[in-house]
Amino acid sequence: MIEKIEKYIVEVSNLVANTKEEAENLRIKYIGRNGILNDLFDEFKTVPNEQKRSVGQAINTLKNNIQEKIDELISSTKKLNLEIKIDVTLPGDSLKLGSRHPVNIIKNRIVEIFSHIGFSISEGPEIEDDWHVFSALNFPENHPARDMQDTFFIEKNPDILLRTHTSSVQVRVMEKEKPPIRTISPGRVFRNEAISARSHCIFHQVEGLYIDENVSFADLKQTLLYFAKEMFGENTEIRLRPSFFPFTEPSAEVDITCTCKGKGCNLCKNTGWLEILGCGMIDPNVLELSGIDSKKYTGFAFGMGVERIAMLKFGIKDIRLLFENDVRFLKQFE
């Protein structure tokens, strides 16, 4: 019986199967309910006692060899079937490319425009302290922006908050660098506002800062006119309306000519003008708070909402579309 088992061991080592069905048939033949291995166990009952030990070891060796071989054949046939199904001569599937988010498109364009006239890029933390967001920017203690209805404060620490504008980055730049300073600060900001078609509690800003000797309001106006023409077209005009910001004096709101060319439409509320940003000459007190001599240096600052410009540029009527990650909307910017 030992010779018969050894013969099967050699036979099993040479087994081959080209399909999953062939491998399954070999499994049934050798270790199925009526297979060869089962017959050997029946025959083992008649083996003399003095031979049971050696014959039993041989049967177990055969059993293990059969199982390993069957597993190997099944695995190899799966790989073979997979290779057969792949036709390498067929043309490949084209990959669907994504696109930049409209907010990123506009932010990158703003950065590109100002980098052409020497503005560097500055970034800072989104979680800030009261000094860099309010106090260093000339906000009085009773200013409504310091109220929880307008600003997200960090619980248990009223001095720590989510920045409401990237002007906090400008303060950090003024504290660390000496004039001349020419920088823009793109980033995400947070305000405690109700979410609607025209406003959101999270949005993005790009704020600019220029400090040097003899900087005038005329420099500010020409800088913003250059930006408007680069962003919205050569025929774009701007107008500046008096306004107020705690950190600039004088201050102004900047409008550009609407795409209706003065005829009046729903977008510009029939005025022919669209507001795009706020600006002004830096208040001397703000310069002094950051350690800059206001008698020697002057400067201007400006700030714009990226989402607002994206909505104007692409004709988007609902700001919420910019935050919902709807593929149907984003595919339009491929």
Task: State the pLDDT at residue 81.
Answer: 57
Size of the chain in residues:
334
What are the pLDDT digits (tens) for 163-210?
A: 999 999 999 999 999 999 999 999 999 998 888 888 889 999 999 999
Residues of the chain with pLDDT under 70: 77-86, 145-149, 156, 262, 264, 267
Task: State the pLDDT at residue 150.
Answer: 78
pTM check: above 0.75: no
Query: How far apart are the C-alpha atoms of 242 and 279, rounded to whole Å?
Result: 10
Buried b (16+ CB within 10 A) or exposed e, 147-182: eeeebbbeeeeeeebbbbbbbbbbbbbbeeeebebb
What are the pLDDT digits (tens) for 262-288?
A: 676 776 777 888 899 999 999 999 999
Task: State the pLDDT at residue 48.
Answer: 78
Strand runs labelled E in the chain: 120-121, 127-129, 160-162, 181-190, 202-212, 238-245, 248-257, 273-282, 298-305
CA distances (Å), 134 to each of 21, 157, 165, 221, in order? 77, 15, 10, 26
Query: How far apart are the C-alpha atoms of 27 and 260, rounded to whole Å?
Result: 80
Query: How far apart are the C-alpha atoms of 71 and 21, rounded to whole Å?
Result: 13
Q: What phi and psi values does residue 18 have, to the nearest 5 degrees?
A: -100, -15
* SS3 state at 97: coil
102-333: in CATH 3.30.930.10: yes
Task: State the pLDDT at residue 149.
Answer: 63
Task: State the pLDDT at residue 82.
Answer: 53
